[in-house]
Amino acid sequence: VQLVESGGGLVQAGGSLRLSCAASGFASDVYAIGWFRQAPGKEREGVACISSTDDSTLYRSSVEGRFTIFRDFAGNTVDLQMNSLKPEDTAIYFCAVVEGLPNWNSLDPSLYDYWGLGTQVTVSS
């Protein structure tokens, strides 16, 4: 499985960004994709995830209502729409995949098998 993130950048607080995760090489149609982030000096944390089988989603409490994860079938990507961004959202954002688990969601990064290289998101105050 190959994952490539895009869409990061610099934005002012209150602004929006849309991240995309282009994924390929799946062994089947059963998988979950998560978005994670890691700020300097902090552990990697889960932000949002989506299941391919039922489109169920799970969000970190601090982003719920501001971020939306969804599958963009036209672009064959899994995107993260981020609104009302805050300086504390500044981090490198990664997408990751775990295969073979239907109707499954988790924000635990240790459970994911494949990772992209990440894209930087910087929110200025």
Q: What mean pLDDT comes out for the span 17-32?
A: 93
Whether 31 contacts 100, CB under 8 Å: yes
Residue 98 structure tokens:
């775990």
- Read off the pLDDT of residues 92-105 as tens digits, 9 standing for 90 and up: 999 999 999 999 99
Q: Which amino acid is at 53?
A: T
Listed residue (50, 39, 23, 11) closest to 115, CA to CA: 23
Q: Under the phi-then-psi rule, with left for phi > 0, alpha for psi from -120 to 50, and beta for the rest, what region is 84?
A: left
Determine the pLDDT at residue 28: 87
Q: Distance (Å, rounded) from C-alpha 9 to C-alpha 25?
A: 27
The pLDDT > 90 percentage for the chain reads 93
Listed residue (67, 85, 66, 76) closest to 21, CA to CA: 76
Q: What mean pLDDT is reported for the chain?
A: 96
Whether 122 contacts 19, CB under 8 Å: no
How does residue 17 score in pLDDT terms, banded at 50, 70 and 90? very high
Half-sphere exposure of residue 62: CA atoms within 13 angstroms, side-chain side: 11
Q: What mean pLDDT comes out for the span 72-89?
A: 93
How does residue 121 score in pLDDT terms, banded at 50, 70 and 90? very high
Phi, psi of 88 (to 5 degrees): -70, -5
Q: Distance (Å, rounded) from C-alpha 125 to C-alpha 110?
A: 32
